[in-house]
Amino acid sequence: MSDKIKISRKNVEFLKKIEDLSGEVIMRCDQCGVCSGSCPMISEMDITPSELMRKVQLGQEDVLGSKAMWLCASCFACTVRCPRGLDVSKVAEALRQVNLRKAIDHIDLKDIPDDEIKRLPQIALVSEFRKFTG
Amino acid sequence: MEDEGKDNIRIGVYVCHCGGNISEVIDVDELAEFGGKQPDVVLSKQNTHMCSDVGQQLVVDDIKEHNLDKVVIAACSPQFQGATFMRAVEKAGLSPYVVQLANVREQCAWPHYDFPELATEKAKGMLSAAIAKARFSEPLEKQTMPIGKRVLVIGAGIAGIQASLDLGDAGFEVYLVEKEPSIGGHMAQLSRTFPTEDCAACILSPKMADVPANPNINLFTYTEVDDIEGYLGNFKVKVTKKPTYVIQDKCIACGICEEKCPIKNIPNKFDEGLTNRRAIYTAFDFAVPGKNLIDPDTCLRLTKGEGVCEVCERFCPEDAINFDDKPEEEEFEVDTIIVATGFDIFDPSEKKVYGYDKYNEVITALELERMIVHSAEGNPIRDLGKKIGFIQCVGSRDEQIGREYCSRICCMYATKLASLLKHSNPERDIYIFYTDLRAYGKGFEEYYKRAQNLGVRFIRGRVAEVFKNSDSDKVTLKVEDTLTRMIIEDEFDTVVLSVGLGLSKSTDKIANMLRLAKSGDGFLKEAHPKFKPVDTNREGVFLAGTVQGPKDIPDTVAQASAASSRAIRLMNQGEYPIAPIIAFVHNDLCDGCELCVDECPVDAISMSSDKAKVNDAICTGCGSCLASCPRDALDLHLYTNKQLLGEITNALKEKKEGETKILVFADDTCTYRLADSVGTAKLSYTTDSIIIRVPSGSRVTPKLMLAALKLGADGIFIGECEENASPYPHSGGAIKENVAKVHEILRKEGVKPERVKFVQFVTVMLGGFVNNINGLASIAMEAGAIPQEKRDRLVVNINERLFGEKYV
Amino acid sequence: MKLPYYPGCTLKTKAKNFEDSAIAVAKELGIDFIELPRWNCCGVVASLVSDDLMRLLAPIRNLIRVQEMNKSGLIKDEYRLVTLCAMCFNTLKRANLRVKENPDDLKKINDFMDREEECYNGSVEVVHFLEILRDTGFENVCKKVKKPLKNLKIAPYYGCLLLRPKEVGIDDPEAPTIQEELLKALGAEVIDNPYKKVCCGSYQTVHNKYAVASLSYDILTHARQGGADAIITSCPLCAFNLDNRQKEIIENHPDFTEIPVFYFTQIMAIAFGLEEDVCGFDLNWVDPKPLLRERELL
């Protein structure tokens, strides 16, 4: 089943917003797929990194509801390989920030079991909360 | 030779609409009216296309009817249609040098299309400047230089071979120089060619055989070019023939020496190191010349000394071995040069992620070509296995390694190699991993479909990594199939890297010798991307083949024939036209101080009866001698002091109160063309600038700069070619000195020296041009207006300041 | 040689074994780690959006401390800041590069931190301990080896933040060799493997622990298949994901055999013949002592 979409002013504005926030010229992505091929978290993702870029290029705001951007580990494997010189991790961050800046945290301390909190090194908790809270 | 004394100058002004390109921005009525009001202008007309037959005829008719002596046309760039209008006025009986173009298209309407009013005002200044230049123009005659029929072709791959044959057949004398022992280049290494699958060696061999058979071609193989000096019609070439240690005339290529040679393990370059050769060898089996030679780095006799080995000498039936062979230097003169030095493939060791250095199973496409040839001859080098993957764009379209361009042929050669592998074993599973499949040429799309019919699988995805899992012998390849968004991670028997092309390393030396420019992609630059694809920025030097950019064999052959044709065009009539940009001396002003003699970078000035004299034949027209003359006795035809001063005065006359105006002196070879490119690309820069054309930035003397500042310039910018692209390699130093002198005077007078700036460009630096001009205008604007008293003081005691007390 | 040293949060507690072994090993090589006074959290993880200057305050404040150290005489003319944790290294270096390239941003940050006694002037260079070892020469490491690790097969593991992005990384992101050179200098047999630069999953371990376990499983299995007895790392988060998460790996792959995960400084300490307690092996989840005893290194 494929949806029909229109590309309206609103879609273009969404693309511009993500381009500004990430500092990346997302329209330059030619969908080669190197980022997806390099991503360590891809098996968990609902859409691939290149698909994420594609949706942003088409200004599809529903990409904000995807799981993929929350699974990014900011490992920069995509960054060092993109033949167009784009930084996909920055695009993922921009998408996360759009959500987080609405004061909607992605994770809650309460959801982490006590024994995990005892086990986890501080660095894990610090980086997780910096990444996924507004 | 000037129009001095002739008060009654009659100038005709024409404003071209350029089919809307100009008239949509600039108010052409206002401009024409303005032009008509200028002194000495007797008529001012408009036309939609001045360069058309109608437009040209208008000029011709008006010259006759209205007795015009000078013609000024506000239109496109003189580099674009300048020659057209020169021919038109010649037709009407005038000297071609009395017509001047005001470049209101590339340098006004186009870059300033958002500011029509400002553009119109600027166009007025430009038109006024052009009128001044025309007013003071000299009715010089076109000059010609004699030229012979000798051509140097550097590089004997298919491009060099084709060019040489064309020229040789046309009766021109060719010196074909090739650094390898045989001609043929990379094409000789190929198995089949796309899209016809012809055997490369079979179609190349007859062409190669034609070369020594052609009586007009002097073939120098195993020869390096050491030095090239001179210019069109007068190139002096020095080459060194490397010693082969085998007397070529005696060698019959029987092969006995090779059989006997004890050194067996030298990697064979022709086979990309996949097979070995002996220390005495032939380049390949259909080499031309098909003779043996000895490798001096690996031969025992040549490395260890007399008495060691010498087996080949003992067994040679023709007594052809000569261990005392020495390099031979040769010199010859040619009139034109064709550079056909070809490409190197991208070294995939640079792209570590594909594991070329680590894994034997990863090979380049060129290695595969050799393997296929050997297989076809019944000597397979290795078993490639059943599952083969091709990785496209290795070393191309990749910003991570600084190779942004597309190498053009890889999609097709991969399709070809895959098809050949399928033909020889239909059981094979072959995949080509691509981002775009570029099958643009004749028969290409059809060939691609045939490959698909054969069962070659095309997967759209750029391979992320090639690696080996520790529990496996085979290489694994990881890629996203972007069309289904699935990740493919699978093992292959062989992975072929479709490597891109780059400029061959040996070309750098030639490019430096000839001072040829490079394009942004690293290949040698053509003079004009559309209309002069085989010319270079140097007259008489042409490009053919992959040295100018990646291309396939048909395009290479076409370019080679094109380059020959361009060379023939210059040489065929025994003489060629030159613009008489030559320095000359106003004898009445020269006081014999001799300061100019040492300044000339080509030693064209000497003293004769106590006056300076310029040798017309040697003078290159750079104008750097003018800055050395305290008496303004030295001048430059086509860019005389009167003309430039007139241009500057008129350009600044239209300046309004509170306006900032910077003058941009743009050298003809690079900066002026760059400014045209900027306009053509519709990039915007400040209207506060006016561009003045000079043959070289060194024409802009300190006196001229200071005069400009006095007359109202708020900033001065000099743009010049970078050294290796400049026909005047000494100009950079000369300009720096001139600017330094002006800076010193500015500092003394309390004027900000940053207002005068010098930058060296290459013609691709569009953004650089825009930023520099805008930047200088900002500096000038921020620094504020210079009061007229300060301006006047800049030219006081100028000879003393520039040359010392002696020259006051 | 004295170097300003930034420990970071975890190295003082859960990864004390990393710090202790590092300080001991450095001392052996004639390098004194002088801890930064009043250091604060490095600010991990670096913000990847264009408009976030707030996130730069924490790292820049640490860089100001280096300036203060020089001023107060705690250290003389040394503006290199050495780190051990790869995440701290990356965050600090990235922030440093950002403000050096954007003087306007630096000015804003300095103006905002008006309670600081000094402005950050861009003089600090953030380095990782491995870089110091490489720059002073691995031969010096060789010289201090008393117990060459010749019976030990070790797989290097870089993770991501030591190598990427290119302007921050300490080595070629596709073919790094710095850990291999270190291991060779210690006399160990190097087990190269393609997973040495694949991310361990990083902070995803907090709420996606099985995804991380799956990644670790791949990394560790490939190392083991290559013949490795152990794997080294330079980051407390990588160590946790590779080491502690073996518990979750075993949940899903009951036949998985544990493999010890060392901080590179721990095996350096072993090779240098230092006292076992600087290594703090009780903080390692998989006990490496049996392996070391078996190879007669302990």
Contact with chain A for residue C51, Cβ under 8 A: yes
Quote the minimal CA–CA distance from B776 to chain A in Å: 28
C partners (3+ CB pairs within 8 A) are A, B
Structure tokens at C270: 């072993």
Count of CB contacts below 8 A, A vs B? 65
Inspect the interface and report whether the beta carbons of C44 and A127 lie closer than 8 Å.
Answer: yes
Inspect the interface and report whether the beta carbons of C226 and B470 lie closer than 8 Å.
Answer: yes
| pLDDT on residue B341 | 98
Question: Over the stretch C96-118, which tens digit does the pLDDT of each residue have?
Answer: 999 999 999 999 999 999 999 99
Mean pLDDT of chain C: 94
Contact with chain B for residue C174, Cβ under 8 A: yes
Question: Over the stretch A16-34, which tens digit does the pLDDT of each residue have?
Answer: 999 999 999 999 999 999 9
Residue B103 exposed, middle or buried by CB count within 10 Å (0-12, 13-18, 19+): buried
- The answer to the question of residue B389 being in a domain is yes
Inspect the interface and report whether the beta carbons of A32 and B461 lie closer than 8 Å.
Answer: yes
| pLDDT on residue B764 | 63
E-assigned strands of B158-233?
A: 173-177, 192-193, 198-199, 217-220, 223-231
Quote the minimal CA–CA distance from A129 to chain C in Å: 9
Residue type at position A126: V
- The answer to the question of residue A117 being in a domain is yes
Where a domain ends, among B450, B482, B502?
A: B502
- H or E segment and range at residue B149: none
- The answer to the question of residue A1 being in a domain is no
- H or E segment and range at residue B162: helix B158-169
| pLDDT on residue B5 | 41
Quote the minimal CA–CA distance from A41 to chain B in Å: 12
- The answer to the question of residue A122 being in a domain is yes
Q: Cis omega (within 30 of 0) on the bond before C194?
A: no
């002196």: which residue's tokens? B665
Do A15 and A59 lie in one domain? The reply is yes
Do B349 and B338 lie in one domain? The reply is no
Residue type at position C114: D
Q: Indicate if the pLDDT at residue B2 is higher than 50.
A: no
| pLDDT on residue B617 | 74
pLDDT band for position B763 (cuts 50, 70, 90): low
Do B34 and B128 lie in one domain? The reply is yes
- Dihedral sign (CA B356, B359, B365, B371): positive
List all residues of chain C from 63 to 122 with a beta carbon under 8 Å from chain A. Answer: 85, 87
Question: Over the stretch B578-596, which tens digit does the pLDDT of each residue have?
Answer: 778 999 999 999 999 999 9
| pLDDT on residue B3 | 42
Q: Where do the domains of chain C lie, and which CATH numbers do they carry?
A: 2-130 (1.20.1050.140), 144-294 (3.40.50.11810)
| DSSP letter (8 states) at residue C243 | I
CB-CB: which of C174, C193, C227 is closest to B352?
C174
Whole-number Å distance between alpha carbons of B502 and C168:
29
Do B565 and B490 lie in one domain? The reply is no
- The answer to the question of residue B577 being in a domain is no
Residue of A46, A75, A123 for testing the chain C interface, max C β-carbons within 10 Å: A123
Side by side, which strands form the sheet with B494-499?
B362-364, B494-499, B387-394, B429-434, B457-460
- Dihedral sign (CA C180, C186, C14, C208): positive
Over range B552-562, report the average pLDDT.
98
- Residue B767: CATH number of its domain: 3.40.50
**Exposure pattern of B438-467 as b/e (b: 16+ CB <10 Å)?**
bbebeebeebbeebeeeebebbbbbbbbbb
Question: Over the stretch B355-367, which tens digit does the pLDDT of each residue have?
Answer: 999 999 999 999 9
Task: Please state, for a pLDDT cut of 90, what percent of chain B lies above it.
Answer: 85
Whole-number Å distance between alpha carbons of A133 and A121:
18
Where a domain ends, among B478, B502, B526?
A: B502
Whole-number Å distance between alpha carbons of C137 and C132:
8
Do B325 and B438 lie in one domain? The reply is no
Choice between B58 and B670, residue whose per-residue pLDDT is larger: B58
| pLDDT on residue B6 | 53
Do A26 and A68 lie in one domain? The reply is yes
Q: Indicate if the pLDDT at residue B40 is higher than 60.
A: yes
Phi and psi torsions of B730, nearest 5°: -90, -5
Which residue range forms the structural domain that includes residue B783?
655-808
| pLDDT on residue B486 | 96
Contact between B501 and B479 under an 8 Å Cβ cutoff? The reply is: no
Do A85 and A19 lie in one domain? The reply is yes
Quote the minimal CA–CA distance from C212 to chain B in Å: 19
- The answer to the question of residue B733 being in a domain is yes
| pLDDT on residue B1 | 35
Inspect the interface and report whether the beta carbons of B398 and A30 lie closer than 8 Å.
Answer: no
Over range B503-509, report the average pLDDT.
95
Single out the residue of B216, B223, B215 nearest to residue B177, CA to CA. Answer: B223
- Residue A23: CATH number of its domain: 1.10.1060.10
- Residue B559: CATH number of its domain: 3.50.50.60
Do B190 and B321 lie in one domain? The reply is yes
Quote the minimal CA–CA distance from A25 to chain C in Å: 12
Question: Over the stretch B290-312, which tens digit does the pLDDT of each residue have?
Answer: 999 999 999 999 999 999 999 99
Whole-number Å distance between alpha carbons of A40 and A31:
18
Do B603 and B550 lie in one domain? The reply is no
pLDDT band for position B725 (cuts 50, 70, 90): low
| pLDDT on residue C237 | 96
Give chain C positions within 8 Å (CB) of B467. 194
- The answer to the question of residue B211 being in a domain is yes
Single out the residue of C7, C17, C11, C8 nearest to residue C284, CA to CA. Answer: C17
Do B544 and B600 lie in one domain? The reply is no
- Which pairing describes strands B541-543 and B192-193: parallel, antiparallel, or unpaired? unpaired
| pLDDT on residue B342 | 97
- Which pairing describes strands B457-460 and B429-434: parallel, antiparallel, or unpaired? parallel
Whole-number Å distance between alpha carbons of A105 and B134:
73
Terminal-to-terminal C-alpha distance of chain C:
29
pLDDT band for position C62 (cuts 50, 70, 90): very high
Question: Over the stretch A86-134, which tens digit does the pLDDT of each residue have?
Answer: 999 999 999 999 999 998 888 888 989 999 999 999 999 999 999 999 7
CB-CB: which of C14, C199, C203 is closest to A127?
C203
Contact with chain C for residue A97, Cβ under 8 A: yes
Do B729 and B786 lie in one domain? The reply is yes
Whole-number Å distance between alpha carbons of C205 and C239:
12
Do A27 and A91 lie in one domain? The reply is yes
Chain C residue with Cα closest to B471: C225
Q: Indicate if the pLDDT at residue B724 is higher than 70.
A: no
B partners (3+ CB pairs within 8 A) are A, C
Question: Over the stretch B222-241, which tens digit does the pLDDT of each residue have?
Answer: 999 999 988 788 899 999 99
Quote the minimal CA–CA distance from A23 to chain C in Å: 6
Contact with chain A for residue C30, Cβ under 8 A: no
Which residue range forms the structural domain that includes residue A39?
9-102
Question: Over the stretch C188-211, which tens digit does the pLDDT of each residue have?
Answer: 999 998 999 999 999 999 999 999
Where a domain ends, among B477, B502, B527?
A: B502
Q: Indicate if the pLDDT at residue B689 is higher than 50.
A: yes
Do B325 and B366 lie in one domain? The reply is no
pLDDT band for position B693 (cuts 50, 70, 90): very high
Give chain C positions within 8 Å (CB) of A44. 208, 211
Inspect the interface and report whether the beta carbons of A83 and B480 lie closer than 8 Å.
Answer: no
Do A27 and A93 lie in one domain? The reply is yes
Question: Over the stretch B17-28, which tens digit does the pLDDT of each residue have?
Answer: 999 999 999 999
Provide ipTM, 2 decimals.
Answer: 0.93
Question: Over the stretch C35-56, which tens digit does the pLDDT of each residue have?
Answer: 999 999 999 889 999 888 999 9
Lowest mean pLDDT among B131-140, B534-543, C146-155: B534-543
Number of domains comprising chain A:
2
Ramachandran assignment for B104, one of left (phi > 0), alpha (psi -120 to 50 degrees), beta (any other): alpha
Chain C residue with Cα closest to A97: C49
pLDDT band for position B4 (cuts 50, 70, 90): very low
Mean pLDDT of chain B: 93
| pLDDT on residue B538 | 78
Number of domains comprising chain B:
5
Contact between B764 and B520 under an 8 Å Cβ cutoff? The reply is: yes
Which CB contacts under 8 angstroms, 24+ apart, belong to C38-41? C38/C65, C39/C6, C39/C7, C39/C65, C41/A126, C41/C8, C41/C9
Contact between B655 and B710 under an 8 Å Cβ cutoff? The reply is: no
Question: Over the stretch B50-69, which tens digit does the pLDDT of each residue have?
Answer: 999 999 999 999 999 999 99
Contact with chain B for residue A2, Cβ under 8 A: no
Do A27 and A69 lie in one domain? The reply is yes
Over range C223-239, report the average pLDDT.
95
Whole-number Å distance between alpha carbons of C261 and C273:
19
Inspect the interface and report whether the beta carbons of C51 and A74 lie closer than 8 Å.
Answer: no
Contact between B343 and B547 under an 8 Å Cβ cutoff? The reply is: yes
Whole-number Å distance between alpha carbons of B67 and B94:
10
Do A34 and A83 lie in one domain? The reply is yes
Q: Which residues of B touch A (CB under 8 A)?
A: 353, 393, 397-400, 435-436, 460-465, 478-482, 485, 487
Inspect the interface and report whether the beta carbons of A51 and B485 lie closer than 8 Å.
Answer: yes
Whole-number Å distance between alpha carbons of B461 and B487:
10
Do A14 and A60 lie in one domain? The reply is yes
CB-CB: which of B352, B468, B471 is closest to C172?
B352
Whole-number Å distance between alpha carbons of B198 and B608:
67
CB-CB: which of B351, B467, B471 is closest to C194?
B467
Quote the minimal CA–CA distance from B111 to chain A in Å: 25
Do A66 and A130 lie in one domain? The reply is no
- The answer to the question of residue B650 being in a domain is no
| Contact partners, residue C259, CB within 8 Å, separation at least 6 | C220, C223, C224, C228, C229, C230, C231, C246, C286
Whole-number Å distance between alpha carbons of B422 and B417:
9
Ramachandran assignment for B748, one of left (phi > 0), alpha (psi -120 to 50 degrees), beta (any other): alpha
| pLDDT on residue B23 | 95
List all residues of chain C from 219 to 248 with a beta carbon under 8 Å from chain B. Answer: 222-223, 225-227
Inspect the interface and report whether the beta carbons of A48 and B481 lie closer than 8 Å.
Answer: no
Whole-number Å distance between alpha carbons of C206 and A132:
11
Inspect the interface and report whether the beta carbons of B465 and C222 lie closer than 8 Å.
Answer: no
